[in-house]
Chains A and B, each alone.
Chain A
Amino acid sequence: MRSVRVTIFFSLFLIVLFLALAGRCFYLQSVKAQHYLDESLRQQRAERSRQPQRGPILDCRGRVLAASNGIQTIFAEPRNIKDAKETSSELAPHIDMGAHVICQLILESRNPGFARIKTTTDANECAAASRIHGIGTYSDWQRHYPMGRLVSNVVGFTANDNRGLEGIERKYDTALRGSPARNIFFADPRRRPIRPKEQDGVLTNGVGIILTIDSTIQQFARDELAARIAEYEAESGVAIVAEPQTGAILAMVSLPDFDPDHAGTTDPNNFRSRALTDWYEPGSILKPIVAAIALDAGVVNTTEKIFCENGPYSGKHNGKSFGTIGEFKNYFGDLTVREILMNSSNIGMAKIGQRLDAERLYEGLRLFGFGEKTGIELPGEVTGLLRTPDKWTSYSVTRIPWGHEICVTAMQMIRAYCILANGGRLVSPFLVRAVVEDDGEVTELKQPPPPVGYLVRHEVAKWVVSEALVSVVNEGGGKRAKLDKWQVFGKSGTANIAKSDSRGYSQRDYVSSFICGAPAEDPAIVVLVSIRKPNRSLGKHYIGGIVSAPVAARITERTLTYLGVD
Chain B
Amino acid sequence: MSQFRFVLVVFYFTAVLIFAVYLRGANNRVFYELSQYNVRQRQLKQELVARQLELESLINPAALARRLDELQTND
By a beta-carbon cutoff of 8 Å, the part of chain A in contact with chain B is: 63-64, 67, 69-70, 121, 123, 144, 146-150, 188, 192-196, 215-216, 218-219, 222-223
Contact between B50 and A121 (Cβ–Cβ < 8 Å)?
A: yes
Given contacts A64-B53, A69-B46, A144-B53, contact A215 B60 (CB under 8 A): yes
Q: Give the size range of B's interface with the partner.
A: 20 to 34
Q: Confirm or deny: B14 has a beta carbon within 8 angstroms of a beta carbon on chain A.
A: no
Contact between B62 and A150 (Cβ–Cβ < 8 Å)?
A: yes
Contact between A64 and B56 (Cβ–Cβ < 8 Å)?
A: yes
Q: Confirm or deny: B65 has a beta carbon within 8 angstroms of a beta carbon on chain A.
A: yes
The interface centre, meaning the residue of A69, A195, A196, A219 with most chain B CB atoms within 10 A of its CB, is A69
The interface centre, meaning the residue of A146, A188, A215 with most chain B CB atoms within 10 A of its CB, is A146
Contact between A147 and B31 (Cβ–Cβ < 8 Å)?
A: no
Contact between B49 and A193 (Cβ–Cβ < 8 Å)?
A: no
Which 4 residue pairs are nearest across A and B when measured between Cβ atoms? Answer: A194-B28, A219-B61, A146-B56, A70-B46
Given contacts A63-B56, A69-B49, A69-B53, contact A219 B32 (CB under 8 A): no
Of the candidates B27, B32, B46, which one forms a contact with A121 in the assembled complex, judged by CB atoms under 8 Å apart?
B46
Interface of B (DSSP majority class): helix
Of the candidates A147, A188, A193, which one forms a contact with B35 in the assembled complex, judged by CB atoms under 8 Å apart?
A193
- Docked complex Cα distance between A69 and B52 (Å): 10
Residues of A within 8 A of B52 (CB): 64, 67
Given contacts A188-B28, A193-B31, contact A219 B65 (CB under 8 A): yes
Nearest residue, chain B, Cβ from A71 = B46
Given contacts A64-B52, A69-B46, contact A195 B31 (CB under 8 A): yes
- Docked complex Cα distance between A188 and B32 (Å): 10
11 A-B residue pairs with Cβ-Cβ distance under 8 Å, sorted by A, are A63-B56, A67-B53, A69-B53, A144-B53, A146-B56, A146-B57, A147-B61, A147-B62, A193-B31, A194-B29, A196-B31
- Docked complex Cα distance between A123 and B40 (Å): 9
- Docked complex Cα distance between A8 and B20 (Å): 46
- Contacts A69-B50, A147-B56, A148-B62 aside, 7 further interface pairs with beta carbons under 8 A come to A69-B49, A70-B42, A147-B60, A192-B32, A215-B61, A216-B61, A219-B61
Residues of A within 8 A of B32 (CB): 192-194
Residues of B within 8 A of A215 (CB): 60-62
Nearest residue, chain A, Cβ from B45 = A70
Nearest residue, chain B, Cβ from A196 = B31
B63–chain A nearest beta-carbon distance, Å: 8
Of the candidates A146, A148, A149, A194, which one forms a contact with B53 in the assembled complex, judged by CB atoms under 8 Å apart?
A146
Contact between B60 and A63 (Cβ–Cβ < 8 Å)?
A: yes
Residues of A within 8 A of B49 (CB): 67, 69-70
A124–chain B nearest beta-carbon distance, Å: 10
Contact between B65 and A223 (Cβ–Cβ < 8 Å)?
A: yes
- Docked complex Cα distance between A147 and B56 (Å): 8
Contact between B27 and A195 (Cβ–Cβ < 8 Å)?
A: yes
Residues of B within 8 A of A222 (CB): 62
The interface centre, meaning the residue of B27, B57, B61 with most chain A CB atoms within 10 A of its CB, is B61
- Docked complex Cα distance between A48 and B49 (Å): 23
The interface centre, meaning the residue of B40, B52, B62, B65 with most chain A CB atoms within 10 A of its CB, is B62
Contact between A123 and B62 (Cβ–Cβ < 8 Å)?
A: no
- Docked complex Cα distance between A146 and B61 (Å): 10
Nearest residue, chain A, Cβ from B62 = A150
A562–chain B nearest beta-carbon distance, Å: 10
Nearest residue, chain B, Cβ from A124 = B43
B21-63 interface with A by 8 A CB criterion:
27-29, 31-32, 35, 40, 42-43, 46-47, 49-50, 52-53, 56-57, 60-62
- Docked complex Cα distance between A222 and B62 (Å): 9
Given contacts A193-B31, A193-B32, A196-B31, contact A218 B53 (CB under 8 A): no
Residues of B within 8 A of A148 (CB): 62
Nearest residue, chain B, Cβ from A188 = B28
- Docked complex Cα distance between A19 and B44 (Å): 61
Residues of A within 8 A of B43 (CB): 70, 123
